Amino acid sequence: MKKEVIINISGLQLDVSSEEPIELMTTGAYYLKNGKHYIMYDELTDDSQIVKNRLKISPKVVEVTKKGASSSHMVFERGKENLTYYDTPFGSLLLGINTSKIDLQETEDSMALHIDYGLSINSDHISDCSIDVSIASKNTEHKDCANCTQ
C-alpha cells in the first residue's frame, strides 16, 4: 500500500432507545512496521478543534489512539475486556471495551477492518457497537485532472 491513503470509517452504536451511525471519510498516512499496520489521520471536532488519530492494526489486536480535545487509547482484543480512560474537556470517563469480533482483510492496495464490541462506561453496559474501516491507497495517476480529489 502507498503512504498516502483514503480512509473511510463507519460505525453503529446500538443502545436500548436508538441507533447512532457515524461516518468519516478523510485522507491520511500509512506505514507498515514490525508486521503491524499504522494509519494516521486528523479529525475535526464539532467545535473546530483537531484530534490526531493513530490506528495500529494487527490481525488479533487493534489500538486506537486519539490526542487532542478528547484523548484516549482504546484497545480492541477479541474475547477480552480492556479498560481505558476517555479524557474530555469536562472530565474523564472509564470505558470498558469488550471485543467479540475482529475481521481484517488485506490486499496489496487496500485493507478492510470490521470490529464488533460492547461498550461500558464506569462498569455499566451502554451499547453494542460495530465499526468498519476501509483504507485504500490514494490514486496518484490522475495528474491530468485539475479538479480530481483522488
Average pLDDT for 68-77 = 90
**pLDDT of 143 higher than 50:** no
Domain boundaries along the sequence of the chain: 4-137
Residue pair 40/33 in contact by the 8 Å Cβ criterion:
no
What pLDDT does residue 42 have?
94
* Whether the Cβ atoms of residue 10 and residue 23 lie closer than 8 Å to each other: yes
* CA–CA separation, 68 and 44 (whole Å): 10
Whole-model pTM above 0.85? no
Fold of 4-137: Lipocalin (2.40.128)
Average pLDDT over residues 1-20: 79
Label residue 17 by pLDDT band (50, 70, 90): low
The mean pLDDT of 85-92, rounded to a whole number, is 83
pLDDT classification of 140: cutoffs 50, 70, 90:
very low
**Element housing 51 (H / E):** strand 50-57
- Does residue 139 register a pLDDT over 80? no
